[in-house]
């Protein structure tokens, strides 16, 4: 029994764990290593309107709110947006206290160096060169490791949530804990807790091309859905416009290497193979338009020309490129590309889920005792399209609010209802080696189906084709899951199939184009769809 069970080790999960440890015992589980998270992969930065003496005097919270609402295409929850934006300065103060070292201005070291990204009207992005996420993640990991009351279990994969509803109760649906696979021993453990915090990140690996790490397989979303939680707005999958394109490069890191939006914020421009700045034909902001607009412009240009990619020209930055983005420059060199000599070939890739497990403004889900923070959660902040660099901010703010809500309603030490007896996990037989090919084939079919039919531009016909294929895959995966001992590969495939199905169902319900959901059958935005797509299990 742990007072708090945190599933995930990015900014949301570790921010919660560090603060919750002041009030009780905390168990943090992560299916890989602590630094294998979306947070650690984030390059650009974290947005925040700082106190007046530290920011652009022309900027303020109202303008950050307005930029977020504009990017969200009419679906942001304004009350949530205001809360997150107004608590940003507190987040930066907290991260600095935990050891995060953001860049400062050379001429005035007392001030943070602030960048600008697509959709932002002012410079308000704090960064640590071009490895901001790793800087934040590293400081959080170091703080968590030396914090009393925190137990960290790496290489532990959460299989399913345990709730009273799943154990047969019809009047009380509350969280009891989770079944967890210890990967190194193949042992399935039962970890109990009346307060479970999901911080599992996103689902980028649902697609063939993604900027996400291999761990982003929709685990928290799928587990919540099976447990009966409500899910919203999963049709809105944001594609990052600039993923490095090099078919000759080998390895998943090369194929999913992100070229930060901050590069465009500093002056780089998107051009086609003739050097034309084509994005301005779609939006007067050009390369600094919101991500959904830029990604669709690239998709249109690739289809128009038949070229495999477009190009990011960093020549306007001069020497500032290598000074501001040393990690990107060195990584590109390691893949055989010198951005100072020729533009960077780029394509859009799945990047961020704007929907997720439905929560209120305090991270509380529809299951009592279950909270969701970070990318896995749907708070209403992002609407139909996330504003760049708002995600790290949201993860920390909502972790703080989740803890405050738990301490108000259900603090450790408060008497809790008796829990029903939790069944011991029963494992099947290990899958024969020659059957493992079924898993790898299903994984490949799933990701190609999503990439071809449920990507940047959709149609009813493509969505129907995808739904048909996912129906068959669900049946095959179900048989494999129940018939054999669980392994990380089986669990990830099971969660990917569930998540992909939710994305397709959500997309079929929205008969319009809005934000990052664009369909050729319904090219206009319709006022009657100015509401969230909520899926519920009954």
Whole-angstrom Cα distance, residue 205 to residue 347? 16
Q: How far is CA 134 from CA 35, 101, 140, 386, in A?
A: 8, 11, 10, 21
Q: Is residue 342 part of a domain?
A: yes
Q: What is the pLDDT of residue 209?
A: 85
Segment (H or E) for 95: helix 88-97
pLDDT at 255: 59
> Rounded CA gap, 241 and 492, in Å?
26
3 state SS of 320: helix
Domain holding 310, by residue range, is 237-352
Would you say residue 220 lies in a domain? Answer: no
242 burial type by CB count under 10 A (0-12 exposed, 13-18 middle, 19+ buried): buried
What is d(CA 84, CA 68) in angstroms, rounded to the nearest whole number?
Answer: 11
* Overall domain count for the chain: 1
Q: Is 80 exposed, middle or buried (0-12, 13-18, 19+ CB in 10 A)?
A: buried
Mark whether 304 is an active-site residue: no
CA dist 414 to 178, 370, 406, 407, 410, Å?
Answer: 21, 17, 11, 10, 7
Choice among 264, 291, 462, 510 that is catalytic: 291
| Residue 231 C-beta-side C-alpha neighbours within 13 Å | 31
Can you give the pLDDT at residue 538? 63
Residue 250 domain-assigned?
yes
Q: Which residues of 26-63 are buried (b: 16+ CB within 10 A; e: fewer)?
A: bbbbbbbebbbbbbbbbbbbbbbbbeeeebbeebbbeb
Residue 269 belongs to a domain: yes
Please indicate, yes or no, if residue 90 is contained in any of the structural domains: no
Sequence-distant (≥ 6) Cβ neighbours of residue 515 within 8 angstroms:
72, 73, 75, 236, 292, 354, 383, 384, 385
Q: Encode the chain (538 residues) as per-residue pLDDT tens digits.
A: 899 999 999 999 999 999 999 999 999 999 998 888 778 777 779 999 999 999 999 999 999 999 999 999 999 999 999 999 999 999 999 999 999 999 999 899 999 999 998 889 999 999 998 889 999 999 999 999 999 999 999 999 999 999 998 888 777 889 999 999 999 999 999 999 999 999 999 999 999 889 888 889 999 999 999 999 999 999 999 999 999 998 766 555 555 788 988 899 899 999 999 999 999 999 999 999 988 899 999 999 998 999 999 999 999 999 999 999 999 999 999 999 999 999 999 999 999 999 999 999 999 999 999 999 999 999 999 999 999 899 999 999 999 999 999 999 989 988 788 788 899 898 777 777 667 788 888 989 999 999 999 999 999 999 999 999 999 999 999 988 888 899 999 999 999 999 999 999 999 999 999 999 999 999 999 999 999 999 997 6
260 lies in some domain: yes
Where residue 433 falls (left for φ over 0; alpha for ψ -120 to 50; beta otherwise) is alpha
User: Does some domain include residue 330?
Assistant: yes
What are 346's strand-pairing partners? 244, 310
Cβ(192)–Cβ(422) under 8 Å?
yes
The pLDDT of residue 41 is 77
CATH number at residue 347: 3.90.700.10
Is 263 part of a structural domain of the chain?
A: yes
């Amino acid at each position: 029994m742990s007072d708090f069970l945190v599933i995930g080790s990015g900014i949301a999960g570790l921010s919660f764990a560090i603060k919750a440890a002041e009030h009780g015992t905390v168990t943090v589980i992560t299916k890989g290593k602590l630094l294998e998270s979306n947070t650690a992969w984030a390059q650009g930065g974290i947005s925040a309107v700082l106190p007046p003496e530290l920011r652009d005097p022309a900027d303020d919270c109202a303008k950050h709110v307005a930029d977020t609402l504009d990017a969200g295409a009419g679906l942001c929850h304004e009350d949530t947006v205001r809360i997150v934006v107004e608590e940003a300065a507190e987040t930066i103060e907290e991260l600095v206290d935990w050891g995060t070292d953001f860049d400062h201005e050379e001429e005035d070291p007392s001030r943070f160096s602030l960048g600008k990204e697509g959709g932002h009207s002012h410079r308000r992005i704090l960064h640590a060169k071009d490895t901001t996420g790793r800087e934040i993640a590293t400081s959080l990991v170091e703080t968590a490791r030396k914090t009393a009351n925190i137990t960290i279990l790496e290489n532990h994969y959460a299989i399913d949530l345990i709730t009273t509803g799943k154990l047969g109760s019809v009047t009380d649906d509350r969280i009891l804990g989770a079944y967890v696979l210890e990967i190194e021993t193949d042992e399935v453990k039962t970890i109990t807790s009346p307060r479970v915090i999901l911080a599992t990140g996103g689902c980028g690996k649902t697609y063939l091309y993604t900027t996400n790490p291999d761990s982003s397989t929709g685990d928290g979303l799928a587990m919540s859905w099976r447990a009966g939680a409500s899910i919203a707005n999963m049709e809105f999958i944001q594609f990052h416009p600039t993923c490095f394109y090099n078919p000759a490069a080998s390895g998943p890191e090369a194929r999913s290497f992100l070229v930060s939006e901050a590069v465009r914020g500093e002056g780089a421009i998107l051009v086609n193979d003739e050097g034309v700045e084509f994005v301005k034909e779609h939006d007067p902001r050009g390369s600094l338009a919101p991500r959904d607009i830029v990604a669709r412009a690239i998709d249109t240009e690739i289809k128009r020309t038949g070229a495999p990619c477009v190009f990011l020209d960093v020549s306007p930055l001069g020497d500032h490129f290598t000074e501001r983005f040393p990690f990107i420059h060195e990584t590109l060199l390691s893949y055989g590309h010198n951005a100072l000599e020729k533009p960077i070939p780029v394509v859009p890739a799945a990047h961020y889920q704007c929907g997720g497990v439905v929560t209120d403004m305090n991270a509380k889900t529809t299951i009592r005792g279950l909270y969701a923070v970070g990318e896995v959660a749907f708070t209403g902040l992002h609407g139909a399209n996330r504003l760049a660099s708002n995600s790290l901010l949201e993860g920390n703010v909502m972790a703080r609010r989740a803890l405050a809500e738990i301490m108000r309603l259900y603090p450790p030490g408060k008497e809790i209802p008796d829990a029903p007896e939790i069944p011991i996990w029963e494992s099947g037989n290990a899958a024969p080696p020659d059957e493992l090919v079924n898993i790898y084939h299903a994984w490949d079919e799933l990701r190609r189906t999503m990439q071809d039919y449920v990507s940047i531009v959709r149609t009813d016909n493509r969505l129907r084709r995808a739904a048909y294929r996912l129906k068959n895959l669900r049946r095959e995966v179900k048989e494999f899951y129940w018939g054999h001992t669980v392994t990380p590969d089986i669990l990830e495939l099971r969660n990917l199939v569930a998540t992909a199905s939710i994305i397709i169902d959500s997309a079929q319900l929205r008969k319009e184009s809005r934000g990052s959901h664009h369909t050729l059958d319904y090219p206009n935005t319709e006022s009657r769809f100015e509401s969230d797509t909520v899926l519920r299990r009954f």
